Amino acid sequence: MRSVCLLLLSASMFFSALTAADDEATLLAFKAAATHGNADVLASWNGSSNGEYCSWEGVRCRGRHRRVVALNLPSHGLSGVLSPAIGNLSSLRILDLSSNELAGGIPANIGRLRHLHILNLSSNAFWGPLPVNMSSCTSLVFMVLGSNQLSGHVPTESGNKLLTLRILDLQKNNLTGSTPASLRNLSSLAVLTLAFNQLEGIIPG
């Protein structure tokens, strides 16, 4: 019994150390990708140890394991790209990078964030397709991707799993094709904004 307890204790210590270290490494990967050409934007994000990253600007942690639950950096003059490592912040609930100058694609890894409630990437320079597979994001309430240069179709898969989604804002992009019928499966949806795109065809009933 005693050795089982010791084993569990050391396993949990190992686990918490591992996840905290992972979150710090992920934040540093985010910084390296996002502050291209403007290193001062996240000057407070320096590689100190022992959960210090929880007090970095825009970062909020929660719990004994000091997992990152929010990344709030709107209007911070961030440029560069959004690192695919973001998908490793597995406790993340809020990702607000709105009103920056981030470009490149929205990493597909966003779709791994199963606790994500708020995704706000509006008013950046993201281009390329919408994330196709958000089926793990079963907590998503706000998905705000307006005012970018996103192109391609609205994925037909949209809507089948995002049952908590209340706001879907895709306005002011360069989306083409028809509006998928699956959107009517977004049973919690209160606001759908598709204005200023090149969408065509009928709007699902």
Contact residues toward ligand NAG (CB under 6 A) are 22, 29, 44, 46, 74, 84-85, 88, 98-99, 111-112, 118, 120, 122-123, 133, 135-136, 142, 144, 149, 151, 160, 167, 174, 181-182, 185
- What is the nearest approach in angstroms of ligand NAG to the Cβ of residue 6? 26
Q: Is 48 helix (H, G, I), strand (E, B) or coil?
A: coil
Structure tokens at 20: 């905290």
Tell me how far CA of residue 183 lies from CA of 111, 152, 171, in angstroms.
18, 16, 15
Task: Pick between residue 2 and residue 183 the one whose CB is nearest to ligand NAG.
Answer: 183
Q: How far is the CB of 12 from ligand NAG (least distance, A)?
A: 18
Query: Which of 35/123 has CB closer to ligand NAG?
Result: 123
Residue with token string 């989604």: 165
What residue has token string 């981030």?
Answer: 102
Q: Which is nearer to ligand NAG, 6 or 181 (CB)?
A: 181
Nearer to ligand NAG, 6 or 13 (CB): 13
What phi and psi values does residue 148 have, to the nearest 5 degrees?
A: -130, -160
Q: How far is the CB of 127 from ligand NAG (least distance, A)?
A: 7
At CA 52, angle to CA 119 and CA 113, rounded to 5?
25
Closest CA to 14 of 63, 65, 85: 65
Name the minimum Å distance from CB 5 to ligand NAG.
28
